[in-house]
Amino acid sequence: MNYWPLLGILVVVAGFALRLNPALVVVVAGIATGLLAGLAPGDVLALIGEAFTRQRYLALFLLTLPAIGLLERHGLKERAQQWIARLRGATAGRALAAYLAGRQLLSALGLVDLGGHAQTVRPLMAPMAVGAAEHLHGPLPEEMRERIKAMTAASENVGRFFGEDVFIAFGAVLLMQGFFAGHGIDLEPLHIALWGIPTAICAFLIHAGRLLRMDARLAREAAALRAPRDGGDGA
């Protein structure tokens, strides 16, 4: 047994710990694993190219990153923040709750790839949520901005995870059907999907409540930050 290729895992861990570009970290880890396994450099590149052409999701991921980077370079985030600032009554929590609802509904219809962290959360929803909060409360500290971004990512995860369980052709639904069939219990995928609806509703209500609590906490913390400045101006 050759354990040297396992060092590729350390490359991934170190790269993520140092907050390097995820795509670059994964590619470097793959190349390192192949070389440590005794493959020639040409063979390693051939394997990467074969995976790129066979796995459409890998190709989509690698093509999405430069496209999103180009849009961000030309002001996508700034446009998103300007747009959300024009909406009356818009808050970070309300914007994310609306995104959560839409994400769940689309995922329940099987349209899971219409959203995502790379193509929607980072370039659009996170700047919109931060922009809505700063439009109401003024410039926010980095810690508060990062908290809003984290809740944006959580909204994506909750919306997709609990929405796609309602789609009858989702792999997990078919897996559950196969498991029950193996134990003599005959269930249709439609029945399993229908029983996922109450769970999806509860997930939406719980996370939407967290988002609204985030709005209240942001308002309190922003008011506390403004208080010393207002007191100093009054003096």
Helix (H, G, I), strand (E, B) or coil at 74: coil
Cα distances from 43 to residues 12, 50, 58, in angstroms, run: 21, 10, 19
pTM (predicted TM-score): 0.67
Reported as half-sphere exposure (CB side, CA atoms, 13 A), residue 33 has a value of 14
Between CA 148 and CA 210 the distance in angstroms is: 12
Taking the alpha carbons at both ends of the chain, their separation in whole angstroms is 74
Per-residue pLDDT tens, the chain, 235 aa: give them: 678 888 888 998 998 888 887 767 888 888 899 898 888 988 888 877 776 666 555 555 556 666 666 666 766 667 766 666 677 778 999 999 999 999 999 988 888 877 788 778 888 888 889 988 988 888 889 999 999 999 999 999 999 989 988 887 777 777 777 878 887 888 888 888 888 899 999 999 999 999 999 999 999 998 888 776 665 555 4
Between CA 146 and CA 200 the distance in angstroms is: 26
Place of tokens 């249709």: 188
Torsions phi, psi for 124 (to 5 deg): -120, -65
CA angle 83, 207, 88 (to 5 degrees): 25
In the 8-state DSSP scheme, what is residue 37?
Answer: T
From the CB of residue 4, how many other CB atoms can be counted at a distance below 10 Å?
12
Place of tokens 């496209």: 67
Domain boundaries, the chain: 4-54, 91-230
